Amino acid sequence: MSYDFDLFVIGAGSGGIATARRAAQYGAKVGIVESDRLGGTCVNRGCVPKKLMVYASHFPAGFEESAGYGWTVGESSFDWLKMITAVNDEVTRLNGIYQRMLDTSEVKLYEGYGKFIDAHTIEIGDNLDSPYNAGNPRNGLSRKVTAEKILIAVGGKPVKPKNIKGIEHAITSREIFNVKEQPKRMVIIGGGYIGVEFACILNGLGTEVTVVIRGDKILRGFDEDIRDEIQTGMQNHGIKFVTGCNCDRMVIDKTDSGLKITVPTNDGKEETIVADAASLAATGRKPDLANLGLENTQVEVVKGAVAVDEYNKTAEDNIYAVGDCTDRINLTPVAINEGRAFADTHFGGQSRQMSYENVPSAVFTTPEAATVGLSEAEAKEKYGDAVKVYRSKFRPMYYTLPDKQEKTMMKLIVDTNTDKVVGAHMVGDGAAEIIQGVAVAVKMGATKANFDATVGIHPSSAEEFVTMR
């Protein structure tokens, strides 16, 4: 049987574009369909615009700290709309780059919403059920393409907790990049990495921020020291926390003075917070599988995500899936790596699986954090008493002249049976940049003795990683 394409990809985000280009480089005939702007979540409403806003949020502290170094900075002011416009302009520039990359790779792009008709056929049309596509209709035009292999790379979408009364008044991370006026008071519901990153961005830009969380600590799943250090740092920078929230009984009321948010806490008390029009529900994400027509295939969905094996194959022999829609590690470089492993295997004559061990990640809060390998708790569960923890907390040199009490925390976790460093964690300036290098060593199986034998770069914060005793 002959098909229109060797590979057809649904979703031109991080995973989809990387896969399509790699497969095309191997000579495959590739098509891709995208219902929104090219680049997916990361480029349009995730990593990229967020990181640009993180940079914007650091300037006020920088102006203040410069006084310690002899600078007098004139009166400064901040124009939110100018920042949002600049960020969106940059996103548009990147959309163009992705378009050119697809063109030069000779990947055929279809604009529209892809839906399975059967295991080898995709219908491309509108998704009129999606609120995100409503402003982007394609006049009901639809066409069909067939492919030998099909890759699902449709990513995820934010979910708002349905049981919070008035939740329709809250926005999600999807909308925050288009808010035209800076919220003066903001409530952020949720203590995951997206929620706390936005809390710090807005706080840095001068918004009064309250973070509402179910437990007593943010960033569940991270090393305890990281959780503590970031939360303390955020509090020191003026962010308020309401902990132990009985979030199912929260109520958001729209009033003349803004949103009135009533937060019942587990100790039977109640807090009332008044925020501006926007309140951010950063309460998780889930794979975006509605209206994909999976019922017309054998593809299995388990716990809301496309179920795949270690080669990204679904229960249908010719259909594969990568990225957030499989809900493994939901990060851009992971989606890219999964996609390239798939393309190398099916079109490059290799047999490649993505390795999920020692995937580094960062939290772009202020203070920033980054991590690779096991948390202390995970290491103790795995290696028991053989675990040795090296921890260091200090004030970086930069903060001495501005006389600020900002701290950096670094931590190495070692399995003394083998002397291997099984976890490295950092909270403080430059954490993501520093841990990326450390991650290479950890991935290679470096021992504590290897770290000790490495000469430090002086003066730097990073040198602490090779001098911890």
- Point out which residues bind ligand FAD (CB under 6 A): 10-16, 33-36, 40-42, 46-47, 50, 113-114, 153-155, 173, 194, 288, 292, 323-325, 330-333, 335
Q: Shortest gap between Cβ of 335 and ligand FAD (angstroms)?
A: 4
Q: Shortest gap between Cβ of 348 and ligand FAD (angstroms)?
A: 20
3 state SS of 35: coil
Q: At what angle do helices 14-25 and 332-347 cross, to 10 degrees?
A: 30
Q: Which is nearer to ligand FAD, 13 or 233 (CB)?
A: 13
Q: Shortest gap between Cβ of 62 and ligand FAD (angstroms)?
A: 21
| CB contact at 8 A, 39 and 98 | yes
Phi, psi (degrees; rounded to nearest 5) at 64: -65, -45
Amino acid occupying residue 305: A
Q: Shortest gap between Cβ of 157 and ligand FAD (angstroms)?
A: 8
**Helices first, then strands: H and E counts in the chain:** 11, 23
Q: Which is nearer to ligand FAD, 263 or 281 (CB)?
A: 281
Amino acid occupying residue 263: V
Q: Which is nearer to ligand FAD, 416 or 436 (CB)?
A: 436
| Signed CA dihedral, 317, 320, 30, 293: sign only | positive
Q: Shortest gap between Cβ of 118 and ligand FAD (angstroms)?
A: 16
User: What is the β-pairing status of strands 108-111 and 30-34?
Assistant: parallel
- From the list 120, 346, 425, 458, the catalytic residue is 458
Q: Which is nearer to ligand FAD, 131 or 268 (CB)?
A: 131
Q: Where are the alpha helices (DSSP H) in 167-309?
A: 173-176, 193-204, 224-236
CA dihedral 371, 376, 382, 385 (to 10 degrees): 140
Contacts of 4 (CB under 8 A, 6+ apart): 29, 31, 145, 146, 147
| Signed CA dihedral, 154, 155, 160, 161: sign only | positive
HEC readout, 50-102:
HHHHHHHHHHHHHHHHHHHHCCCCCCCCCCHHHHHHHHHHHHHHHHHHHHHHH
Q: Which is nearer to ligand FAD, 109 or 389 (CB)?
A: 109
Q: At what angle do helices 47-66 and 80-104 cross, to 10 degrees?
A: 140
Cα separation, 434 vs 440, whole angstroms? 11
Nearest to 431 by CA among 334, 358, 360: 360
Peptide bond into 367 cis (omega under 30): yes
Adjacent-strand bridge partners of 305: 302
Q: Shortest gap between Cβ of 37 and ligand FAD (angstroms)?
A: 7
Q: Which is nearer to ligand FAD, 250 or 331 (CB)?
A: 331
Q: Which is nearer to ligand FAD, 130 or 353 (CB)?
A: 130
Active site residue 169: no
Nearest to 361 by CA among 454, 235, 223: 223
Cβ-closest residue to ligand FAD?
Answer: 13
Q: Shortest gap between Cβ of 359 and ligand FAD (angstroms)?
A: 10
| CB contact at 8 A, 386 and 416 | yes
Q: Which is nearer to ligand FAD, 311 or 399 (CB)?
A: 311
Q: Shortest gap between Cβ of 315 and ligand FAD (angstroms)?
A: 19
Catalytic sites, residue numbers: 458
